[in-house]
Amino acid sequence: MATQEQEKETLDSVTIRFCGDSGDGMQLTGTQFTNTSALFGNDISTYPNFPAEIRAPQGTLAGVSGFQIHFSSNNIHTAGDSLDVLVAMNPAAFKTNIDDLKQNGILIVNEDAFTPGNLKKAGFIDDEDIFAPYESRSRIFKIPITKMTLTALEDFEMMAKAKERCKNMFALGLTYWIYSRPLDSTIEWLTGKFGKKPEILEANIKALKAGYHYGNTIEAFQSTYEVPEAKIVPGTYRNITGNQAVAIGFVAASELAERPLFIGSYPITPATDILQELSKYKHHGVKTFQAEDEIAGIGSAIGASFGGQLAVTTTSGPGIALKSEFMNLAMITELPVVIADIQRGGPSTGLPTKTEQTDLLQVLYGRNGESPIPVVAAKSPSDCFEAAIEACRIAIEHMTPVVFLSDTQIAIGSEPWQLPDLDTLKPFNFKFHEDPETFAPYKRNELLARQWAIPGTKGCEHTIGGLEKEDITGKVNLSPDVHEHMTEIRSKKVDLIATKLPPTEILGDETGDLLFVGWGSTYGAIRTATEKLRNEGYKVSQIHLRHLNPLPNDLEKIMRSFKNVAVPELNLGQLSMIIRSKYLIDAKGINQVNTKPFAVSDLVDEAKKILGEG
Amino acid sequence: MSQVQELTKADFVSEGDVKWCPGCGDYAILSSVQTVLPTLGIPKEKFCFVSGIGCSSRFPYYMNTYGFHTIHGRAPTVASGVKLANPDLSVWVVTGDGDGLSIGANHTVHMIRRNMDLKVLLFNNRIYGLTKGQYSPTSEQGKVTKTSLYGSIDNPLNPLSFAIASGATFAARTNAANPKHMQETLRAAAAHKGTAFIEIFQNCNIFNDGAFAKYLNKDTKAEENLFLETGKPLLFDGETKGIIMNLDGGKPKLSVEEADPANPGVSKSGNKFLIHDPSNEDHTLAYLISYLGSISDPENPAAMGVLRAVNKPTYGEMLHSQEEEAKSAKGTGSLKDLVYSKDTWTVKETAKA
């Protein structure tokens, strides 16, 4: 293929972002690059970023959609701080993303889209040399991607518009060439997708190959790059997003509980995928109920739980606000139901497609009365599988609603998932109560979990409800002592969950100068920062909390073994507030609410500041 | 059914005290329900009563069955979940005019349009009782209450018209003070497959006493109640009057005309009285009948009995059949197939480890 030898440079890791108009196919392009890299053997981490509008006006800043891939020959835990390569399909994409490009990074733009009209839509002034400020600090390739695509497809009997739509394949082919990626998995994918439309299939393949050969031919690139396979733990892998992993986790939990899965939900970004995914699994006995609103979603789930199913509802922050009254009903009736909160930027409608960790205090405290509800958080896309199972396990074994926390970054981000050995998953330990002689609705076991007798069980007829009740019999009783006793019992029941938790895992030494305490999607960034600091000789360790209520019993002791405790969160300091009030430990917040994940470099800098060396 | 042990009313009475106000219409409804349930041939443990909030919603505590006293307005959602989880249960929703038509109207619409297999008892007393006397969505305009000192300016809602317009496959009206009629209506609802919606006129003797007196008063009840009988003409007031339909400027309209004693089923003006057919697929006529005698139409009698009973698949049946179809098309799903689906790759021990 190559007419002359090109230099090939080997790199550890590379971060690319494809961005363009929401109709430009950037999510698809990114996904293809991801799958190819995963199959090639790199470790990968991705982060799509798209507008809240489905089709914002073409060419505008609001309509820019992006997909970021970090691929490496090492183990990686984030989608990358800054970009080695930015592919910008129009001026708006260029404008909104260029600041993330590294010094000396590669900028590839579709020259054809930089028309006066598009420049104006992106807010550039006439005759402005928009690339000038970046020429000294980046390698700019202005490529007529649209024209080249149309030329490549000259012989095809298709509408010009349809031909133009193949331009994302041209861009993909070009990046494949730069990073020495094989084309076959994308060709295979195209064949599966367009098998019944041979013309479109051929056009896409032609555009992909044209992009690949273009890189080879024009000699503009001084060298190509190679990112070798990563040393990955042996096993079988697939690429997975957090929302997919939650859905599969719920199905797994349903098998472990030997109860059918019922999901009552209302569509909301970024949680909708879970309902959509589970709707595909009817043949697994999954019942999906798209309710009339958020309230009905959880109401139906609570009804299904009363009826003896593994019941879940999925939502985001605004939906939690609506579900709160029902969460309290599940709490006081002590019924198992999992409420998955896929957090997004708030407050109010806020930033529906952006990421934040701002619902922690809402799920812990956003209800009337004393209302303890366990909270479990996932730390990465693939971790959602185990975290979802854990949430269901706690719900059923302890007879309580449980909140499962994820966020946009995890929900739509993806990473390779080492597929678990399903035989090692532990069945849930519970059974329905069927003996009328020993039955009382609020009679409890050693974990304080109440007896669960489902309608249809002869002789165990009983009524539950939201009014205060006395223990054991469950009879309505509003007297002072009963209320105090029940309040304490409900609180103690949640505290007892901590006795069942494994010791908290510490990355690094058990003592030192600084301990990062994190939760949720910040795991990868904190872990990478911890590794960097340790490599530089700092005595830094990391713990990452799966359980936010109850907190692990060994947490205080671990924190007290470090001179400093830092709590990085994508909020204004929610977990740090809890740690400070609960343990009287001077935890320092590292906080960010700019809709972006933490940059590793920022965490490193903040840690150094805390250590007095920043 | 023969194996079902003989049940009596006492089996459905719970041991605790009933705490409604003395003289409340709710007592009669409770008693009628407890009378009808043992006759249905359904084991006691298969009944589940789900309620929201309000006086009516205390009902499950007084039934010795499975019960769930949920939150304000949301009983239809919980009941839907219970029924979908356990299709062989007989699930009853107990609600009121405030619970089911104000805070929970949204859920009432969606339960009905889906044809969830639930029996719905809506106690209509046209007042908020548990919060001590504020106007409700069924209170008449001009009603003076603690929150409408100058008279309510809200347009009232007719529960049956609301249900029928939402696509109810079964809609009926009865009166708590007429146990015989109520029990017949409850039996008809129990026999229906799908959402069976019953509006029950119920007197609140504390905050809205006498709201339904004209339907019970010896002197007026004959002209105020239009008792419906399938296949029979719509007649009332000792069969001296009946309902005819005519077109008023192209708009169908029901009117009262005097019966012609010499010509059964026909009015003195020669119009044929409507024949009651609750199984009519088209709900236009049922809607018009439901509106008769409403607060906005006080000159006419109110229809009592089953206005509509049509046979349509329930949500649960359709959900179940989709599941069965998916299983027969794809085979029963296994977790392993789901986890180890396409697009996996294997990293071998030897690979650079």
Residue in B13, B15, B77 to test binding to A, most A beta-carbons within 10 Å:
B77
Domain that holds residue A538: 512-610
Is the pLDDT confidence value at A4 over 60? no
Is A461 near chain B, with CB under 8 Å? yes
* pLDDT bracket for residue A1 (50, 70, 90): very low
Residue A432: its chain B contacts at CB < 8 A?
Answer: none
Nearest C-alpha of chain A: how many angstroms from B33? 17
Q: Do B69 and A238 touch (CB under 8 A)?
A: no
Mean of the pLDDT values across residues A332-357? 97
Question: Is A429 inside any structural domain?
Answer: no
- Average pLDDT, integer, range A258-275: 97
The whole-chain average pLDDT of chain A stands at 94
Q: Do residues B273 and B235 lie in contact, with contact meaning Cβ atoms separated by under 8 Å?
A: yes
Beta strands at A83-88 and A101-110: parallel, antiparallel or unpaired:
parallel
Residue of A nearest to B51 (CA): A465
**Does A462 share its domain with A537?**
no
User: Are B333 and A238 a contacting pair at CB < 8 A?
Assistant: no
> Are the Cβ atoms of A455 and B45 closer than 8 angstroms?
yes
pLDDT tens per residue across span B126-170: 999 999 999 999 999 999 999 999 999 999 999 999 999 999 999
Let me know the angle formed at the C-alpha of B175 by B169 and B180, rounded to the nearest 5 degrees: 95
Q: Are A604 and A532 in contact (CB under 8 A)?
A: yes
> Does A440 reach chain B within 8 Å, measured CB to CB?
no
Residues A443 and A393 placed together within one structural domain of the fold: no
Q: Do A281 and B338 touch (CB under 8 A)?
A: yes
Substitution target from A300, A382, A458 for chain B, most B beta carbons within 10 A: A300
Q: Which residues of B touch A458 (CB under 8 A)?
A: 43-45
Could you say which residues from 157 to 176 on chain A have a Cβ atom under 8 Å away from some Cβ of chain B?
Answer: none
* Domain closes at, from A424, A456, A485: A424
Whether B61 and A463 lie within 8 Å, measured CB to CB:
yes
User: Of the candidates A81, A128, A130, A75, which has an alpha carbon nearest to the alpha carbon of residue A103?
Assistant: A81
Residues of chain B by 3-state class (helix, strand, coil), percent to 5 = 30, 25, 45
Q: Which residues are within 8 A (CB) of B328 and not within 5 positions of it... i.e. 6 or more apart?
A: none
A252 — contact with chain B (CB < 8 Å)? yes
Nearest CA in chain B to A264: B81
pLDDT at A19: 96
Q: Nearest CA to A15 among A96, A110, A85, A102?
A: A85
Percent of chain A topping pLDDT 70: 99
**Residues A166-176, mean pLDDT to the nearest whole number:** 96
Work out how many domains chain A is built from and give that number: 4
Task: Please give the average per-residue pLDDT across A17-33, as a whole number.
Answer: 92
Contacts of A293 in chain B (CB under 8 A): 106
The residue ranges of chain B whose pLDDT is under 70 are 1-5, 342, 349-353
Q: Is residue A3 scored above 60 in pLDDT?
A: no
pLDDT at A592 over 60: yes
Neighbouring-strand partners of residue B13: B63
Q: Is residue A167 part of a domain?
A: yes
Length of chain A equals 614
Distance of CA A466 to the CA centre of its chain: 34
Question: In A, which residues are within 8 Å of B110 by CB distance?
Answer: 291-292, 296
Give the per-residue pLDDT at B343.
Answer: 74
Helix axes A600-610, A523-535, angle to 10 degrees: 60
Contact A236 B346 (CB under 8 A): yes
| Average confidence (pLDDT) over A182-211 | 94
A397 and A477 co-located in one domain: no
Are A135 and A157 part of one and the same domain? yes
Residue type, B353: A
Between vectors from CA A296 to CA A292 and to CA A299, what angle results, nearest 5°?
160
Tell which residue, A104, A106, A95, A36, has the closest CA to residue A66: A95
Probe site for chain B from A184, A328, A463, A467 (most B CB atoms < 10 A):
A463
Q: What would the 3-class secondary structure string for A569-593 be?
A: ECCCCCHHHHHHHHHCCCCEEEECC
Please report where in the chains the tokens 């005290």 appear, as a residue: B17
Whether residues A299 and B351 touch (CB distance < 8 A) is answered with no
What HEC string does A531-559 produce? HHHHHCCCCEEEEEECEEECCCCCHHHHH
In this predicted structure, what is the pLDDT of residue B5? Answer: 66
* A475/A384 same-domain check: no
Q: Tell me the three state secondary structure of residue A368.
A: coil
CB contact under 8 A, A307 and B78: no
Is the residue at A193 inside a domain? yes
State whether residue A303 sits within 8 Å of chain B by CB: yes
Closest by Cβ to B335, choosing from A41, A305, A422: A422
With a CB cutoff of 8 Å and minimum separation 6, the contacts of A47 are A67, A68, A79, A409, A412, A413, A597
Are the Cβ atoms of A475 and B344 closer than 8 angstroms?
Answer: no
Residues of B in contact with A464 (CB under 8 A): 67-69
Q: Which residue of B has its CA nearest to A422?
A: B336
Strand B196-201 with B170-175, pairing:
parallel
**Minimum-distance CB partner of A283 among B48, B107, B330:** B330
**Closest Cα in chain B to A39:** B345
Q: What is the pLDDT of residues A9-20, one digit of tens each?
A: 899 999 999 999
- In this structure, are A49 and A187 located in the same domain? yes
**Same domain, residue pair A246 and A358:** yes
The answer to whether residue A76 is domain-embedded is yes
For residue B85, give the chain A residue with the closest CA: A304
Are A182 and A258 members of one domain? no
Test the A interface: residue of B19, B70, B341 with most A CBs within 10 Å: B70
B69 and A465: CB-CB below 8 Å?
yes
Whole-number Å distance between alpha carbons of B63 and B351: 68
Q: Is A234 on the interface with B (CB under 8 A)?
A: yes
Residues 467-526 of A with CB under 8 A from B: 467, 475-476
Place A263 in a pLDDT band, splitting at 50, 70 and 90. very high
Cα–Cα dist A287/A269, whole Å = 21
- Whether ipTM > 0.95 holds is yes
- Radius of gyration of chain B, Cα coordinates, nearest whole angstrom: 24
For residue A452, list chain B residues with Cβ-Cβ distance below 8 A: none
Peptide bond into A270 cis (omega under 30): yes
Residue range A468-492: mean pLDDT, rounded: 97
Q: Residue A2: is its pLDDT beyond 70?
A: no
pLDDT in tens, A477-486: 999 999 999 9
CATH of the domain at A516: 3.40.50.920
Contact at 8 Å (CB) between B124 and B159? Answer: yes
Kindly state whether residue A350 falls inside one of the protein's structural domains. Answer: yes
- Model pLDDT, residue A561: 98
- Looking at the fold, whether A165 and A200 belong to one and the same domain comes out as yes
Residue A571 reports pLDDT greater than 50: yes
Contact status of A227 with chain B (Cβ, < 8 Å) = no
Amino acid identity at A264: G
Interface probe, candidates A367, A418, A461, A470, chain B, greatest B C-beta count within 10 A: A461
| Whether residue A310 sits in one domain with residue A222 | no
Residue partners of B67: CB distance under 8 A and separation at least 6: A462, A463, A464, A465, B48, B49, B50, B51, B60, B61
Alpha-helical (H) ranges within A63-183 are 91-97, 116-121, 132-135, 145-152, 160-164, 167-178
- pLDDT higher for A117 or B345? A117
Q: Are residues A253 and A131 in the same domain?
A: no
With CA atoms as reference, report the closest residue to B92 among A432, A337, A455, A330: A455
Q: Which residues of A touch B104 (CB under 8 A)?
A: none
Walk me through the domains of chain B, giving residue ranges and CATH numbers: 9-231+276-316 (3.40.50.970), 234-275 (no CATH)
Residues A245 and A373 in one domain: yes
